[in-house]
Amino acid sequence: MKLKGRVALITGAGSGFGREIAIQMAREGAKIGVNDIHRRAVEGTLEALEQIGSEGLALEADVGNVDQVKRMFEKTVSKWGTIDILVNNAGIAVKPEWKEYQELHNRAVLKAVDEVMKTGKVQESMKVTSAFQDEWWHATLNVNLNGTFYCTREALKTMEVKGRGKIINMASITGVQGEPNVPAYAASKGGIIAFTKSLAKEVIGSGIQVNAVAPGYCGTPLLNSIDQQLLTILKTQIPIGRLGTAREVASLVVYLATDDADYIVGQVIGVNGGLGI
């Protein structure tokens, strides 16, 4: 058990990568603070932890809300006395209520693909950013980037005193190489990468390792909004020929949280089936 007795707080742990990270860290002996904005999602992960005989703490909170984040860290430290590992995993690409954006995005990509098939090149701008609404921009940046900052700030208050800690941020291949039609998501993930590298240099003197994981396309509910035809096209571009799984991303995150990864500092590690070579 490589994380025996360690206290981990995982954001967005009610689904996809976050739930799998919680389960895998619990199997390694960690106590898990289970954060999610949705109560039912938190409960589902706590049930999974209970089944493997592990200790979990319900932390229903919006990571984009400073006061809720502060209360969530206070609750964790008051229960377990410390925080050893923070995984900033909560993230959104598109909200279910943003139907207009989903349609705009899917239409733009399929049109571009059609143009390439017929003429060999894209004929004009995909015109998503010029129609992008302020609400979509601010909400995405607030959850993905502000949320990462708010949680990190609270975790550091404990880790800097303790002189030890692991922070793992969930970036994306989109933040590394860019992707058309997702301006806010790409900016948030690019921001997370720059934040990770800068912070890693700042806090390593206190024995705190900060790294990021940058997955490619993986089969989680986050991809539900993508048009099926589009997903089929996407898969053809992934050298390994399939989507990734939550298990494959989680195992890297768990490794980064262990002492085995102590010499890995400020890195952005891809898990992408070869998409980012």
* Contacts with ligand NAD, residue ranges (CB under 6 A): 11-12, 14-18, 35-38, 41, 62-64, 89-92, 143, 147, 170, 172, 215, 217-218, 220-223
Q: How far apart are CB 123 and ligand NAD at their closest, in Å?
A: 29
Nearest to 160 by CA among 87, 57, 82, 212: 82
Residue ranges with strand state E in the chain: 7-10, 31-36, 56-60, 85-88, 165-170, 208-215, 268-271
Report helix, strand or coil for 202. helix
CB of 232 to ligand NAD, least distance (A): 15
- Of 185, 217, 255, 263, the catalytic one is 185
Nearer to ligand NAD, 9 or 37 (CB): 37
Strand partners, 218: 244
Cβ closest to ligand NAD, residue 112 vs residue 143: 143
Q: Please count the other Cβ atoms lying within 10 Å of the Cβ belonging to residue 259.
A: 11
Minimum distance from residue 220 beta carbon to ligand NAD (Å): 3
Please count the residues of the chain.
277
Closest C-alpha among 193, 196, 212, 188 to residue 271: 212
Nearer to ligand NAD, 77 or 87 (CB): 87
Strand ranges across the sheet with 56-60: 56-60, 31-36, 7-10, 85-88, 165-170, 208-215, 268-271
Q: To the nearest whole angstrom, how small is the minimum distance from the Cβ of residue 99 to ligand NAD?
A: 17
Choice between 56 and 91, CB closer to ligand NAD: 91
Q: Is 150 a residue of the active site?
A: no
Q: Which residues are annotated as catalytic?
A: 185
